[in-house]
């Protein structure tokens, strides 16, 4: 299934930049950055429990916010992209 993850990390304090880096690194283990603070991660239910737990332990819930959108398995027809920096479709045939 595809999970869209969006977040606002407070970077007022010194730890904010560190949390920001960690959250993006954790998301990149399972997906790709589609906009500055928005990631799409394709995970199975077990991977999702693991990733969600890691993310919720990384953010500071008193200062930051994080949102998860469950887009299911039939997610391709639900997403439209316009403009530059179109993310890679990892399911498309790769011609080398």
Write down the least CB distance from residue 25 to a copy of itself, Å. 18
Stretch that binds a copy of itself, among 13-21, 24-32, 43-51, 76-84 (CB under 8 A): 76-84
* Contact yes or no for 79/85 (Cβ under 8 A): no
Lookup: tokens for 49: 């429990």
Write down the least CB distance from residue 29 to a copy of itself, Å. 19
Using CB under 8 A, which of 45, 46, 86, 88 touches a copy of itself?
86
59 belongs to the binding site for a copy of itself (CB under 8 A): yes
Q: How far apart are CA 54 and CA 58, in angstroms?
A: 6
Q: Is 8 annotated as a binding residue?
A: yes
Q: How far apart are CA 67 and CA 60, in angstroms?
A: 13
**Sites of contact with a copy of itself (CB under 8 A):** 4, 6-8, 34-38, 56, 59-71, 77-86
Residues making up the binding site for Mg(2+)? 8
């Amino acid at each position: 299934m595809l999970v869209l993850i969006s977040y606002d990390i407070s970077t007022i304090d010194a730890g904010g930049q560190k949390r920001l880096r960690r959250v993006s690194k954790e998301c990149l283990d399972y997906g790709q950055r589609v906009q500055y603070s928005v990631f799409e991660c394709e995970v199975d239910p077990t991977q999702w429990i693991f990733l969600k737990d890691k993310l919720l332990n990384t953010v500071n819930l008193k200062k930051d916010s994080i949102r998860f959108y469950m887009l299911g398995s039939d997610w391709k027809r639900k997403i439209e992209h316009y403009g530059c920096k179109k993310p890679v479709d990892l399911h498309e045939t790769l011609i080398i």
